[in-house]
Amino acid sequence: MAKAELLLLAVVSTLSVLPFSSLAVYQDFCIADLAASATPGGYPCKPAKDVTADDFHYCGLGSPGTALKPFKISLGSTIVTMFPGLNGLGISAERMVMVPGSATPLHSHPGGTELIYVVEGSVVSGFISAALNRVYTKTLYVGDLMVLPRGQLHFQYSHGNATAVTLSSFSSDNPGLQILDFALFANDLPTEVMNKVTTLDELQVIKLKAWFGGRG
Q: Is 107 annotated as a binding residue?
A: yes
Q: Is 109 annotated as a binding residue?
A: yes
Q: At 42, is the secondary structure helix, strand, or coil?
A: strand
Residue 64: CB atoms within 10 A of its CB come to 14
- Judge whether 76 and 94 are in contact, CB under 8 Å: yes
Distance CA 67, CA 25 (A): 36
Q: Which runs of consecutive H residues, i.e. helices, occur in the chain? A: 3-16, 23-26, 180-185, 191-198, 202-212
Report the Cα–Cα distance between both ends of the chain, in Å, rounded: 61
- Judge whether 126 and 138 are in contact, CB under 8 Å: yes
Question: From start to end of the chain, where are the E strands?
Answer: 66-68, 73-78, 92-98, 107-108, 114-120, 123-128, 135-140, 145-148, 153-158, 164-170, 178-179
Q: What are phi and psi of 184, to 5 degrees?
A: -80, -40
For the annotated binding site, the residues are 107, 109, 114, 154
Binding site as annotated, residues for Mn(2+): 107, 109, 114, 154
Residue ranges of the annotated binding site for oxalate are: 109, 114
